[in-house]
């Protein structure tokens, strides 16, 4: 999802302030370096892929200590709360928002957000001690990238195209590209 700073946004917040805040305007926000940022609406194709991933992960994790969830805040640090398209979290405290124990985060790209999702957002997500994989999905190109934390602390990327099987080691799931990109033909 793309970032667009609202004209009236001047207040500085901490992550804790943000998680307790209600804008009252019906918009969805992220906290970026202490500033609230409006989230733009996603396209139908973007939503189809996010839902496909969520359903597959939720079914796979049924009965496991971790859960898959759509569009909920992740507290990266004291000034950044992001909202990934899908995440897997293993929070024993069962907090309602501001998850931190996330071994897997998924961003489905939009034209307006692709650069930020691959760079700035990924840099913020890497602040999460529990993060092991970051899945980036380009629904228009039918391509995926899995960024995986290596033993030496570096991030290794594996790219997949179309119907290839994407392996997510953090949750031990082999996910066919045909499942990820199912039903896109119907999207406008």
Q: In sequence order, what are the beta bridge partners of 59?
A: none
> What's the pLDDT score for residue 92?
73
Report how far apart the first and last C-alpha atoms of the chain are (Å, whole number): 18
> What's the pLDDT score for residue 113?
82
Q: What is the mean pLDDT of each run of 10 residues along the chain (188 residues)?
A: 45 90 87 91 92 98 94 94 95 79 95 87 96 96 97 97 96 97 81
Q: In sequence order, what are the beta bridge partners of 48?
A: none
Fold of 42-186: tt1808, chain A (3.90.1570)
> What's the pLDDT score for residue 10?
57
> What's the pLDDT score for residue 9?
54
Domain spans of the chain?
42-186
Q: How far apart are CA 152 and CA 159, in angstroms?
A: 20
> What's the pLDDT score for residue 14?
95
> What's the pLDDT score for residue 2?
46
Q: How far apart are CA 21 and CA 13, in angstroms?
A: 9
């Amino acid at each position: 999802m793309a970032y667009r700073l609202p004209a009236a946004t001047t207040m500085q917040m901490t992550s804790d302030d943000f998680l307790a805040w209600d804008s009252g305007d019906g918009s969805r926000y992220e906290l970026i370096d202490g500033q609230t940022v409006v989230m733009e609406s996603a396209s139908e194709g973007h939503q189809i892929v996010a839902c496909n991933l969520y359903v597959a992960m939720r079914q796979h994790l049924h009965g496991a200590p971790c859960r898959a969830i759509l569009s909920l805040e992740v507290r990266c640090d004291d000034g950044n709360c992001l909202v990934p398209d899908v995440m897997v979290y293993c929070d024993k405290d069962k907090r309602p928002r501001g998850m931190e124990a996330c071994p897997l985060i998924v961003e489905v790209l939009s034209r307006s957000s692709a650069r930020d999702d691959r760079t700035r957002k990924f840099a913020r997500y890497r602040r999460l001690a529990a993060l092991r994989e970051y899945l980036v999905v380009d629904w228009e190109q039918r391509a995926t990238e899995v960024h995986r934390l290596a033993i030496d602390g570096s991030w290794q990327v594996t790219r997949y195209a179309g119907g290839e099987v994407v392996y997510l080691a953090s949750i031990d799931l082999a996910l066919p590209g045909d499942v990820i990109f199912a039903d896109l033909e119907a999207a406008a």
